[in-house]
Amino acid sequence: MKLYKIETGTFQVDGGAAFGVVPKRVWQKRYPCNDDNFVRLAMRCLLIETGEKLILIDSGTGDKQLEYLKYYDFVGVINFETELNKLGFSCSQITDVVYTHLHFDHCGGSTRYNSDKTSTELTFPNATHWVGEAQWKNFLNPNIREGDSYFPENVQPIHEAGKLKMVSENQWLCPDVELRLFNGHTVGQLVSYIHSNEKTYVYVGDVIPIAACLPVAWISAYDTYPITAMEEKKALLDEAAEKKQILFFEHDAYTECCTVKEVYGKYRVDESFEL
């Protein structure tokens, strides 16, 4: 098995939104912000080559809504064909795409406009695209909180092409990759557990968006169900600390991976490193 990180761009969000009720004087010691109180977030995807499968986890924001979403200050949004070619692959070789969830910064790169700019095509035409069933239902009929985070053109063409597969319970995508359902930030998130030899990598998505948010109570204002988000995060961290699993962060612009340790009932970064 080989793992490749793919940096699909960065964007900015308000620090108060990113850290919720945690005071700025506390969180700014762990994560930098600019003079306008905005923090820079990554959109770091993971490509898994198993030998039989080529699996991509999340696809960034893409370029379809950049003008509409310009207040997020997106920088460095990639072309997937170009980036995959650098690794010796092509978009047509991707066998599976796993979505943590369907907010625009996680799935927008999976479709792209045709040259006429009026229709879309699948970026990964031969891939099966995996999504939590509850998340898909939420996408179709979003609650008032999440409606602005979903764009039909990001995922609807995939469903219409018969390439979208629902996950209603924890399951294995293949012998090396396990998909588990988590709730809190939104319903039906998929967290991928990648088992490689004696190591397990956990693509935590928005369950823990950045390493600074390891403390269980540190959840963002974007989390739709705060108490559930804390409970689900604790369950993930309990196992990660016990089994020395490696957390892979999608949104942390400064920390790619870390292991965690429990100190007097609280979780801290043990060792941080790049993939």
Please name each of the domains of the chain with its CATH number.
Answer: 2-273 (3.60.15.10)
Q: What is the largest CA-CA distance in the chain?
A: 59
d(CA 267, CA 207): 15
Q: Looking at residue 116, what is its pLDDT?
A: 75
- How many beta carbons lie within 10 A of that of residue 186, not counting itself? 28
Residues of the chain where predicted confidence (pLDDT) is lower than 50: none
Q: Looking at residue 209, what is its pLDDT?
A: 98
Q: Looking at residue 275, what is its pLDDT?
A: 86
Q: Looking at residue 248, what is its pLDDT?
A: 98
Q: Looking at residue 115, what is its pLDDT?
A: 76
Strands (E), 186-255: 189-196, 199-203, 246-248
- How many beta carbons lie within 10 A of that of residue 139, not counting itself? 27
Cβ proximity of 132 and 125 under 8 Å: no
d(CA 177, CA 174): 5
Q: Looking at residue 114, what is its pLDDT?
A: 86
Structure confidence by residue, pLDDT tens digits, 51-102: 999 999 999 999 999 999 999 999 999 999 999 999 999 999 999 999 999 9
Q: Looking at residue 53, what is its pLDDT?
A: 98
**By C-alpha distance, which of 271, 200, 244 is closest to 1?**
200
Q: Looking at residue 117, what is its pLDDT?
A: 73
